[in-house]
Chains A and B, each alone.
Chain A
Amino acid sequence: MDTRNQMKAKVLAASVAAALSQMAGTAFADSSVGQDTVMSSALNRRPINTSTAGGSTDPEGMGTREPAARTPSGQMYDMPIAETEEINKTDGGWEYFGHVEAGVVGIDGDRKRQGFNRYKDVENGLYLNNFGVTMNKRDSANFFEATGGAVGNDDEFYSLKFGRYNDWMVKGFYNETPHVFTTTFRSIYNGLGSGNLTLKPGLTPGGTASVAADNLAVAAVANANSNTELGLVRKKGGARFDMNLTNEWKFFASYTNEKREGKRPFGSVWGGGGGSNPVETVEPIDYRSHDFIAGLQYNDDLNSLNLQLSGSWFRNDIDTLTFQDPYRQAAANGIAAGGFTQGRFDLYPDNDYYNAKGEYARSLPDFYKGRFTAVAAFASSRQDDKLIPYTTIPGVDLTNVAGAAENWDNTRSLSKRSAGAQIDTSLLDLGLSLNPTDDLNLKGKLRYYETKNKTDYLACNPSASYTDNDPYTAGAQAGGLSAYGCTGVWGRLTNDGSGSAVVTGATAAATALLLANGAAGNQNIRNIPFDYKKLNFVIGGDYRLNKYSSVNAAYERENIERDHRERDKTWEDKLKLGYVNRGLEDATLRLSYEHQDRRGDTYHVHSPYEEFYSGHLIPMPTAVVGATTTPTLTSWVVHMNSRTRKYDLADRKNDTLNARLNYMVRADLDMGVTGQYKNTTYPDSDYGRVEKQRASSLNFDANYQPSAERSFYGFYTYSDAKMEQQGTPSGAAAGRNCNLFAAGGPATVSAAELLCADPNSGMVFQAANFWTVTHRDQNDTLGLGWKEAFGEIRLDMNYSFSQGKTDINYNLPANLAAANRLLAGKGMPELKTTQHIFEANVLVPVNKTVSTRFMVRHEVGKINDWHYLGFDTTPVSGNPAALPTAVILDAGPQDYTTSIIGVMVNFKL
């Protein structure tokens, strides 16, 4: 994690945030707007409640209900904690109380392992666990409350609110959240967290003449710099102001500012499209987000109105990541071996977001006691970052492209200098609810949501031209090939020039080769502006059978139109039935069943992308070249296996059954059982997600509260999910191909479009070599808790256990080599995560204002993840004498055992 900040600086920052809050504003708890709904930390998992901090359960409970009343669904309420009686008063009429809990924490074991500290920060030493102060001036109804916790740590938090009850309120907060990605990274770079990664001493940018030596050097440097932590800390502050303008009108406005700083594992790759020599790098995180929301709310007897404007501005203070390459890439595109010394990423660009939303509801008491709602929202996401050149390496010179004018290392090679990306969204939601009788409610809803992608980018180098003379690219046109308003060289230089996906054409002498090889593959020539329109309409009814039970039913139709996807349209019917009975003698039962059936129009594998690939520029061959060359059509007609159905577009049937029973076993004991069963099928999918996908879970919970002094709870959840997929590798069957007019190939172009991508034809894929994978996730989660008061001493113990297992089993493809078949076995090693957490707290009151809390927390985590097998010894995998298969600097997640003990003293003011 990043450097630990000075406590004083953090407190100062919190104070600034608090001060800002006095200028901006907010307050009333609002679960519909914004995030930041909790101020707490790993050792204060509940927000600080100043009224009850350091207190014990009130032996009188809630009074007339013994031991505790139940919610309308039949769950026991908690026994209340006795609120503080130590209320002070100033001469000015302010009543106040407060507390501070501080002490010493000792932590032992694997406290630096990611499994333990992923979202928390606990260190040895003095620990200001939490504090709070509450003030109230009764005669003016003014109040003030401030809380905080984990002071000085990376998960610290502070909140402040003040105002006048039923009138106005200001809220401010400052909250930090750590997020550790790995603690086992072995860095070979200097400059982690910056936009410039340079190799540590001992490594050579661009590699040496000996790959074997480079491999040894990378491993040695990496292992000498092990256990580096990569993570980030979110630091967010904000303020909100709420005010009741009149009895009907309310106003609110809020502003938040979040800084994210740190670094995370990243990748890098060289060469052409498939990629070679992947070496892990480190992405810097230096983000800032500003979010502003303001709204007006109106309510009277008949009408409700919400108007809201919001804006969000994301800024990345590091635009690019330049990294040095420790390996020698092959010569390419005019650059000699060893010339690719560095690469450059364009990191997440700055973006702006605006949203205007209006919501209106009107009661229609004279029209079947109805209610009408209307929501309209318009939003726009915009991004106009300056674009960077394809490479930082000068002198890249592509075959058949005019070298002096190519300029791949500066922005003259781009069709535009900034992104100019924009997606607009709009929402219209109309609803009508009628109550023709007191027992019957009918509702209808119409919802339209649309995204419009206005981004237009051409992969066209306008300052380059072709030098060849073939008719399929530039021909004799000195300015290059013209399309979509740009004249130049099309395609893109990949991976800093170590590869290319450029429509390079061919010399006249090589024209036949071009036709035979399909111009080295179909290449992106412009962006694909994905967007969609979604229309939902719903009708439903809810009928009360008697005072305590009801049935409900709803039918929904969802139509989606997508641009540039394999299906233009999908439509889904959803039928839901529900039953609620709150009147069973000692129980509440809720049941629901939903059936969904999604279908769509013709599934096109290839054609949706045609206009975005070079097949649009270079006409598909339709004749034999010369006397004998039969051109391959693969680039033009094969995007992927045509029997694949992407699961977000595929025909799908889904049945979901939910059941929930709350049962009051005795006056002091209640139990709950919930279950869910989901069954999904993909009836038209031969490849991709296929067959059935099932998920089920069963949950039990119990809550026993025999008295205010004693309570127990327990829960157990079992879940089981299974999913299947199928694929087949590319590779033609013997005697089959996608060469026009060739033996075993398509006889016509139109036949090629139908046959080449079909695995049943064997021309590019062959069905006989199919493979299947079955995924099975099983999880067990157990929780137990015991609270007991031994006189004045209070014990609170909790234990949780969770275990997740994923078995990935497969059937091998028929063409897998015998030796590989033997070693591949029947599946991947089990993915397994286990965690035990035990926590005990003993609260010992010393007097009315002082209590002591003894705390023990013990965590054990174990993890097996085959992705990282072997990387615990060396980050370099592959042939020791060749460019490595992969350099994975992250050694992966580790087992851990960690114990925390603490002694805290709670002082009441």
Chain B
Amino acid sequence: MNIQTPFSLLRTGAIAGILLIGLLLSRSALSIPPEAKYVGEKRCIGCHLIENKHFGHTEHAKIFRQNPKNDIEKTVCETCHGPGSLHVPEKDNKNRDYIIGFTKEWGTPVEAQTEACLSCHKGGQRMHWPGSTHATNKLSCSDCHNPMARFSATGLLKKPSITETCQTCHQQQRAEFQKRSHMPVPEGKMTCVDCHNPHGSVTKPLLKADSVNEVCYPCHAEKRGPFIWEHAPVREKCTNCHEQHGSNHDKLLQTARPYLCQQCHQNTNHPAAFYSANQTANNTFGAPGVALNSRVMGRSCQNCHMQIHGSNHPAGARFQR
């Protein structure tokens, strides 16, 4: 591939500048003092009875108590919160440097919170967490998860469902799912995580597959083809024509047909023709100014070009068979 490089100097300069600034402004990371020791969950429960009541129903509690992998997991609470010996004395139990907290009020740096979680959960589906959109925006694991009670059936989420959890921040998407045509998210048949990996991925919008189309095909496998006769924007990206969450238009289309199709098809004859209100079936044939046209009726362009995602028919070059 022939790589265009008009910004090469800018890129080089930016790297050098950021490196220099960083080296000049170095700071030390925050962590629990190294003299802290593990004290075991009995000491914790001594004060945190109610927390323990709820925590006992969680998967973490059962894992740590019933089949711990190592000595740290045996401590249960301190597996996540860190060694608690400095936190135990009453005079010090408000000192926020002595225990890892996962709440806004406690104020443990997000990086320290995340590090605590990733000490067990790194790799796997979280391989791409570092540098992901969520990580860059300084989200902590506990912005979405609350392992202190069984709020959700699975996943130790902060809300009862994945969708509700995501929509606490993604309100725009919540509204999009309420539109005329939408993925069956409000009806409980899909969640955001069917398409996205909130823990990071190799794509910018945290998609679970390597491209937009490869995200769509598992549910729409018939459109995977390949076909003899392909439609270029369909093959490249489903979102060239469709909204991913919801739309005011049929089939999650970006806008109404035939106008959507005409945003690319300005060919001779009917593709470039002007379509208007006097062409709907609501008008009476033969009345002055009426020009009934099948391209504004029903499924519009797809009344004729119904195989718009591709055709395997030898006569299907225009997606009519």
The contact sample of 23 A-B pairs, CB cut-off 8 A, is A30-B124, A38-B161, A77-B146, A267-B299, A305-B123, A345-B321, A348-B222, A353-B221, A385-B312, A387-B314, A429-B202, A436-B23, A441-B131, A541-B14, A639-B267, A648-B233, A672-B171, A715-B171, A729-B274, A829-B280, A867-B250, A867-B256, A867-B299
Specify which chain B residues have a CB less than 8 angstroms from the CB of A177 in the assembled complex: 184, 189
With the chains together, A70 CA to B168 CA distance in Å? 13
Q: Give the distance to chain A from B230, nearest Cβ to Cβ, in Å.
A: 5
**Residue in A36, A63, A592, A717 whose CB lies within 8 Å of B175:** A717
Contacts of A547 in B (CB 8 A): 30, 109
Asked if B131 and A806 make an inter-chain contact with CB atoms under 8 angstroms apart, the answer reads no
Residues of A within 8 A of B136 (CB): 542, 552, 578, 580
Return chain A residues, CB-CB under 8 Å to B268.
634, 638, 640, 730, 764-765
The stretch from A102-110, A222-230, A469-477, A775-783 touching chain B is: A775-783
Residues of B within 8 A of A865 (CB): 250
Q: How far is the CB of B103 from chain A (nearest CB, A)?
A: 4
Contacts of B161 in A (CB 8 A): 38, 40, 45-47
Q: Hey, what's the 0/1 contact readout for B110-149 against A, CB within 8 Å counting as 1?
A: 1001000000001111011011000011111011001011
Q: Are B236's CB and A557's CB within 8 A?
A: no
Contact with A along B37-65 (1 / 0, CB 8 A): 00000000001111101100101001101
Q: How many A-B residue pairs have CB under 8 A?
A: 636
Tell me whether A22 is interfacial, beta carbon within 8 Å.
no
Q: B288 an interface residue at 8 Å Cβ cutoff?
A: yes
Nearest chain B residue, comparing its CB with the CB of A78: B151
Report yes or no: B313 in contact with A388, Cβ–Cβ below 8 A: yes
Q: Nearest Cβ in chain B — how far from A52, in angstroms?
A: 7
Q: Does B285 contact A166, Cβ atoms closer than 8 Å?
A: no
Chain A residues in 8 Å Cβ range of B219: 35
Contact partner of B127 (CB less than 8 A), chosen from A345, A359, A540, is A359
Tell me which of B1, B124, B272, B316 contacts A728 (CB under 8 A).
B272
How far is A388 from B313 in the complex, measured between Cα atoms in Å?
7
Residues of A within 8 A of B11 (CB): 539, 555
Q: Which residues of B are found within 8 Å of A741, using beta-carbon distances?
A: none
Contact with A along B267-294 (1 / 0, CB 8 A): 1111111101110111101101111111
Q: Check if A69 is an interface residue, CB within 8 A of chain B.
A: yes
Closest B residue to A73 using CB positions: B143
Q: Are A781 and B178 in contact (CB under 8 A)?
A: yes
**Please, which residues of chain B bring their CB within 8 A of the CB of A44?**
188
CA distance A351 to B227 in the complex (A): 10
- State A890–B303 Cα separation when bound (angstroms): 11
- Structural contact, B281 and A492, CB atoms closer than 8 A: no
Rounded to whole Å, the gap between the CB of A250 and the closest CB of chain B is 7
Contact A291 B218 (CB under 8 A): yes
Are the CB atoms of B221 and A287 closer together than 8 Å? yes
Q: Tell me if B300 is interfacial: C-beta within 8 Å of chain A.
A: yes
Q: A610 at interface (Cβ–Cβ under 8 A)?
A: no
Contacts of B317 in A (CB 8 A): 459, 492, 501, 524, 527
Closest residue of chain A to B264, judged by CB? A646
Q: Report the separation of the CA atoms of residues A316 and B277 in the bound assembly, to the nearest whole angstrom.
A: 39
A49 touches B152 (CB 8 A): yes
A75→B168 contact, CB < 8 A: yes
Q: Which residues of A contact B184 (CB under 8 A)?
A: 118-119, 177, 179
Q: Are A80 and B25 in contact (CB under 8 A)?
A: no
| CB atoms of A299 and B122 under 8 A apart | yes
Assess whether B232 is in contact with A824, with CB atoms less than 8 Å apart: no
A interface footprint on B234-268 (CB within 8 Å = 1, 0 otherwise): 01110010000000111000011101001111111
Indicate if the CB atoms of B272 and A278 lie closer than 8 Å.
Answer: no
Bound-complex Cα distance A569 to B3 (A): 10
Chain B: which residue is nearest A890 at the CB level? B298
What are the residues of chain A within 8 A of B227 when measuring CB–CB? 349, 383, 419, 421, 455
In the complex, chain B residues whose CB is within 8 Å of the CB of A535: 1, 3
Whether the pair A870, B283 counts as a contact (CB closer than 8 A) is yes
Q: Residue B92 at the A interface, CB < 8 A?
A: no
Q: Does B18 contact A (CB under 8 A)?
A: yes
Complex Cα distance A77/B224, Å? 41
CB-CB under 8 A for A561 and B293, given A438-B28, A717-B174: no
Q: How far is the CA of A423 from the CA of B54 in the complex (A)?
A: 52
Decide if A112 is an interface residue (CB 8 Å cutoff). Answer: no
Chain B nearest CB from A415 CB (Å) reads 9
Does A710 sit at the interface, judged by CB under 8 A?
A: no
State whether the Cβ of A213 lies closer than 8 Å to any Cβ in chain B. no
A867 to B257, CA, bound (A): 9
Count of interface residues, chain A, beta-carbon cutoff 8 Å: 255
B30 touches A61 (CB 8 A): no
Q: Are B57 and A166 neighbours in the complex by a CB distance under 8 Å?
A: no
Nearest-Cβ distance from residue A115 to partner chain B, whole angstroms = 9
Q: Counting CB contacts under 8 A, is A509 at the interface?
A: no
B95 at interface, CB cutoff 8 A: no
Q: Is B318 close to A, CB under 8 A?
A: yes
Chain B residues within 8 Å of A880, by CB: 285
Say whether B69 faces chain A, with CB atoms less than 8 Å apart: yes
Indicate whether B150 reaches chain A with its CB closer than 8 angstroms: yes
**Mask: chain A, 69-91; 1 = CB below 8 Å from B; 0 = not:** 11111110110110100000000
Q: Does B81 contact A (CB under 8 A)?
A: no
Contact A419 B312, CB 8 Å, known A41-B187, A312-B218: yes
Which one of A52, A165, A268 lies within 8 Å of B63 (CB-CB)? A165
Structural contact, A824 and B266, CB atoms closer than 8 A? no
On whether the beta carbons of B303 and A280 are closer than 8 Å, the reply is yes
**Contact (Cβ within 8 A) B150 A527:** no
- Name the contact of B321 in the complex, choosing from A351, A359, A496, A540 (C-beta under 8 A): A496
Asked if B75 CB lies within 8 Å of chain A CBs, one says no
Query: Known contacts A141-B62, A440-B21, A781-B174: does B248 contact A820 (CB below 8 Å)?
Result: no
Residues of chain B within 8 A of A660, CB atoms compared? 169
| A136 interfacial by beta-carbon distance below 8 Å | yes
Query: Contact partner of B280 among A50, A717, A723, A866, CB < 8 A?
Result: A866
CB-CB under 8 A for A439 and B27, given A47-B153, A638-B268: yes
User: Nearest chain-A residue to B178 (Cβ)?
Assistant: A802
Q: Give min CB distance, A584 to chain B, whole Å.
A: 11
Residue on B nearest A267 in the bound complex, by CB? B306
Residues of chain A with a CB closer than 8 A to B53's CB? 60, 63, 83
**B contact residues around A823 at 8 Å (CB):** 277-278, 283, 288-290
Give the residues in chain A near B63, CB-CB below 8 Å. 141, 165-166
Q: Which residues of A contact B138 (CB under 8 A)?
A: 550, 580, 582
Nearest chain A CB to B207's CB is how many angstroms away? 10
Q: Which B residues are CB-close (under 8 A) to A664?
A: 104
Query: Please, which residue of chain B has its CB at the minimum distance from the CB of A49?
Result: B153
Q: Which of A249-281 contact B (CB under 8 A)?
A: 250, 265-269, 273-275, 278, 280
Which parts of B63-81 form the interface with A (CB within 8 Å)? 63, 65-69
| B290: chain A residues within 8 A (beta carbon) | 823
Interface string of A484-509 (1 = CB under 8 A from B): 00000000111110000100000000
Shortest C-beta distance, B231 to chain A (Å), equals: 8
B102 touches A72 (CB 8 A): yes
**Chain A, 830-874, contact with B by CB distance < 8 Å: what is the 0/1 string?**
010101000000000000000000000000000101111111000
Specify the chain A residue showing the minimal Cβ separation from B201: A32
Q: Does B36 count as interface, using CB distance less than 8 angstroms?
A: no
Shortest Cβ gap from A670 to chain B (Å) = 10
Residues of A contacting B198 in the complex (Cβ-Cβ under 8 angstroms): 31
A644 within 8 A of B: yes
Give the CA-CA distance A58 to B249 in the complex, in Å: 44
